[in-house]
A and B are shown apart, each in its own frame.
Chain A
Amino acid sequence: MIASPWLLTLPVILPLAFGVLTLLFPSDWLARTGRHGAMLCAAAVVPCTRWVWQAGPLHQSPGGWTAPLGIDLYLDGMACLFLIFTAVMGLGISFYAAAYYPPSPDGTRTRNDLFWPLWFVTWGGIQSLFLSQDLFNIYVTLELISVSGVGLILIAGTPGAVRAALQYQMQALIAGLVYLLGVGLVYNAVGTLDLQLMSDQLQPGLMKNTGMALMTAGLLIKAALFPLHFWLPKAHADATAPVSAVLSGLVVTVAFVMLTRIWFAGLHQLAPFLLPKLLGILGSAGIVWGGVLALRQHRLKRVLAYSTVSQVGYLFLVFALTFHDAPGQGLVWTGAVYLTISHGLVKGAAFMAAGYLQKAEGTDQLAALKGCARRHPVAVMVLAVASINLMGLPPSTGFIGKWMMLKASFHTQQWGLAVVMLGGGLLSAAYLFRVFEQLLQPSGPPSGPSRGGEAVTPLTRSQSIWMLTPAMLLALATLLPVLYITLPDALLRIGAPLPFSDFIRPGGTP
């Protein structure tokens, strides 16, 4: 079987092309173009999935030059899983955004219309990143994603959003440069930018290690790990809802996925004890810190944003859990991937629901949302499903992920991490119950279209449907793997760079 030349590049080129198109089209075409474009972009992932499923991993080199000189794209099970995840999120966000941003009354372009080009470019960048196998290409795509993220935040147009965008851009620039310095050192040590070729060069080497450490530091800033998270909550909470969904649902996962890739391309040989411990401690601190701050917020979107800080902390525990070469290692990785994806899906859904409430009620102040459940039952239900995931309660993927990691922490006898994980679950329960306490009040404040000083235009029926359906579907998607849990797991093991476990197989449980 010969792969078509566009197989791996189409998922990148198509969103970029739609980015240009939506920049040029007149305003009243945009919602439709956005929806159709999203469907096409998502469809571009289907052939990739088919290929991986039937023929295994695939290398392609855009530019026609193979790895040491050119850039290689590499599609394996993990990349494919994340492509599917991106496509699903992309579909949901696009349909939601098409309903969220109202068409301008006289057909002229407004600032909202810039959402589409920026979002499609972000989409293309994320797909490119998941496929990339080249250290410098990763730098460029990371910058592409951050800069378009800044633009997306700016769509809100408030001074708070501008300030958040400024901070976001500053951290992105610095993180990118730190990462780039690391890439330069690694390149000078091993003479290649390709991840796979780099991991073949087994001898650690001083310069390579230093470069790896710098790259890790850069990615940690991008991933918003605990002491470097300062920019995240403002940016995520002050943006408009579709943008929050993009940033919290998709963009946050990106740096983590890249870190795992680099980890297995040689990072794990470097400082085998110190670095994982450090990441574990920072992750734990993030879980607690994010949770505590989420408890103190008075706005729904702020609560969700701080919850992202907390959940990102969980992901980094994975590095601490695997440094013992214990038999349960693979379990941790599978768990982390499940957790990443489920967090992305539910955080996207939760921000969509929060945006719906904000639009319907004119504010996302918790106090003003009293009794919302009566008026907007579906939105609150989405939030409920999301909460089940965030807390890590049984029928959800979040539970599966956290359970796997918990189990690994027992295996490696890291009781401290186990306590933090359980405590983090309790914390998230606390801050989410605080939200629901308000939402589920039997009676709210006197309802009226304008509250909090903002004039509210009532949502039309079709607008509500188009906004809530994607949110609901994304939230429900996290419950699916309970039925088909072997499917993603089987996909993950194709061309696995990570030692994914075969925990499902009978007798395979360590």
Chain B
Amino acid sequence: MPSSALIYTLAGIWIAVIGLRGVLAEEHVFRKIVASNIFGSGVFLVLVALARRAPDGPPDPVPHGMILTGIVVAVSATALMLALLGHLHDTDPDDREDSP
């Protein structure tokens, strides 16, 4: 019988893949940002679920620490990109396509 950690690992992998596909295949920057968020969430989910692999005992705290750091880095990167996108929109009216 599969353990819940395995279920979430697989879910994380596919979420990450969906996000990656979104980043690579979409043209609109805002959608790319959303997709990169999903990609990040998937990656984090894989790592957290893998930390729970051992059938008994507590989960591994090291990946948890890594992901805490990763989440904060990802949210600051997202915020930075959003601010840049908004700024481009305001200052460069010719560039409403948002595609680099």
Measured CB to CB, the residues of A under 8 A from B are: 136, 139-140, 143, 147, 150, 154, 159, 162-163, 165-167, 169-170, 172-174, 176-178, 180-181, 183-185, 187-188, 193
Q: Which residues of chain B (25-83) have a CB below 8 Å from chain A?
A: 29, 32-33, 36, 39-40, 43, 46-47, 50-51, 53, 62-63, 66, 69-70, 73-74, 76-78, 80-81
Contacts of A140 on B, CB cut-off 8 Å?
69, 73
What CA separation (Å) do A183 and B85 show in the bound complex? 30
The 4 A-B pairs at the shortest CB distance, nearest first, are namely A184-B47, A159-B92, A166-B84, A173-B77
A475–B93 Cα gap in the complex (Å)? 42
Closest chain-B Cβ to A134's Cβ sits at a distance in Å of 11
Alpha-carbon distance A188/B48, docked complex (angstroms): 11
Bound-complex Cα distance A183 to B63 (A): 10
Q: Is the CB of A177 within 8 A of B80?
A: no
Least CB distance from B55 to A in Å reads 15
Q: Which of B40, B62, B73, B74 contacts A187 (CB 8 A)?
A: B62
Among A150, A184, A185, which residue has its beta carbon within 8 angstroms of that of B66?
A184
Contacts of B50 in A (CB 8 A): 184-185, 188
Residues of A within 8 A of B16 (CB): 181
* A165, B80: Cα distance in complex, Å: 10
A165 touches B84 (CB 8 A): yes
Query: Would you call B100 an interface residue if the criterion is a C-beta within 8 Å of the partner chain's C-beta atoms?
Result: yes
B7 in contact (CB, < 8 A): no
Q: Contact at A181–B46, with CB atoms within 8 Å?
A: yes
B88 at the interface (CB under 8 A from A): yes
B80 CB contact (under 8 Å) in A147, A174, A178, A184: A147
Nearest-neighbor residue (CB-CB) of B78 within chain A: A173
Q: Which of B39, B43, B66 contacts A136 (CB 8 A)?
A: B66
- List, in ascending order, chain A residues with CB within 8 A of B20's CB: 174, 178
Pairs A–B under 8 Å by Cβ, sample size 20? A140-B73, A143-B73, A147-B77, A154-B84, A159-B88, A162-B87, A169-B80, A170-B23, A172-B77, A173-B36, A174-B20, A174-B36, A176-B73, A180-B66, A181-B43, A184-B50, A184-B66, A187-B63, A188-B53, A193-B62
Contact assessment for A170 and B43 in the assembled complex, using a CB-CB cutoff below 8 Å: no
A177-B40 contact given A140-B73, A169-B77, A172-B77, CB 8 Å threshold: yes
Candidates A159, A170, A176; contact of B91 at CB < 8 Å = A159
How far, in angstroms, from A193 to B80 measured CA to CA in the complex?
29
Give the residues in chain A near B53, CB-CB below 8 Å. Answer: 188
Q: How far is the CB of A448 from chain B (nearest CB, A)?
A: 30
The distance in angstroms between the C-alpha atoms of A291 and B16, with both chains bound, is: 35
Q: Are A180's CB and B88's CB within 8 A?
A: no
**Chain A residues near B77 (CB-CB < 8 A):** 143, 147, 169, 172-173, 176
Assuming A162-B92, A169-B80, A170-B36, what are 16 further A-B pairs, CB within 8 angstroms? A140-B73, A143-B73, A147-B80, A166-B29, A169-B84, A170-B33, A173-B78, A174-B36, A174-B39, A177-B36, A177-B39, A177-B40, A180-B43, A181-B47, A183-B66, A193-B62
Q: Is the CB of B43 within 8 A of A177?
A: yes
Across-interface contacts of B39 in A (CB, < 8 A) = 174, 177
Q: How far is the CB of B70 from chain A (nearest CB, A)?
A: 6
Assembled-state Cα–Cα distance A162/B100 (Å) = 11
Contact indicator B80/A150 (Cβ below 8 Å) = yes
| Range class of the B interface residue count | 35 or more
Distance to closest chain A CB from B99 (angstroms): 10
State the CA gap A185–B46 with chains docked (Å).
9
Report the minimal beta-carbon distance from B87 to chain A, rounded to whole angstroms: 6
When chains A and B are docked, how far (Å) is the Cα of A169 from the Cα of B80?
8
Which B residues lie within 8 Å of A183 (CB)? 66
Determine the distance from Cα of A184 to Cα of B66 in the docked complex, in whole angstroms.
Answer: 9
Given contacts A173-B36, A177-B40, are A163 and B73 in contact (CB under 8 A)?
no
Bound: A185/B100 CA distance, A: 33
How far in angstroms is the closest Cβ of chain B from A342? 32
Of all chain B residues, which has the CB nearest A189? B50
Q: Could you tell me the distance in whole angstroms from the C-beta of A129 to the nearest C-beta in chain B?
A: 15
What is the CA–CA distance of A163 and B46 in the complex, to the nearest angstrom? 32
Contacting B88 at CB < 8 Å: which of A163, A177, A184?
Answer: A163
- Complex Cα–Cα for A110 and B46 (A): 44
Are A169 and B81 in contact (CB-based, < 8 A)?
Answer: yes
Inter-chain contact B46/A162, CB cutoff 8 Å:
no
The residue of chain A having its C-beta at the shortest distance from the C-beta of B76 within the complex is: A147
B46 contacts across to A, CB distance below 8 A: 181, 184
Given A174-B23, A177-B39, are A166 and B47 neighbors across the interface (CB < 8 Å)? no
Q: Which residues of B contact A180 (CB under 8 A)?
A: 43, 47, 66, 70
Contacts of A174 in B (CB 8 A): 20, 23, 36, 39
CB <8 Å contact, B63 and A184: yes
Q: How far is the CB of A59 from chain B (nearest CB, A)?
A: 20
Contact A177 B91 (CB under 8 A): no
Given A169-B77, A169-B80, A177-B74, residue A163 in contact with residue B43 (CB < 8 A): no
Complex Cα gap A49–B34 (Å): 46
Would you call A184 and B43 a contact (CB within 8 A)?
Answer: yes
Chain A residues in 8 Å Cβ range of B74: 173, 177
Which residue, B20, B29, B84, B85, has most C-beta atoms of chain A within 10 A? B84
List of A residues within 8 angstroms of B63 by Cβ: 184, 187-188
Q: Complex: how many Å from CA A495 to CA B3?
A: 45
Known: A173-B77, A177-B36, A188-B53. A163 touches B95 (CB 8 A): yes
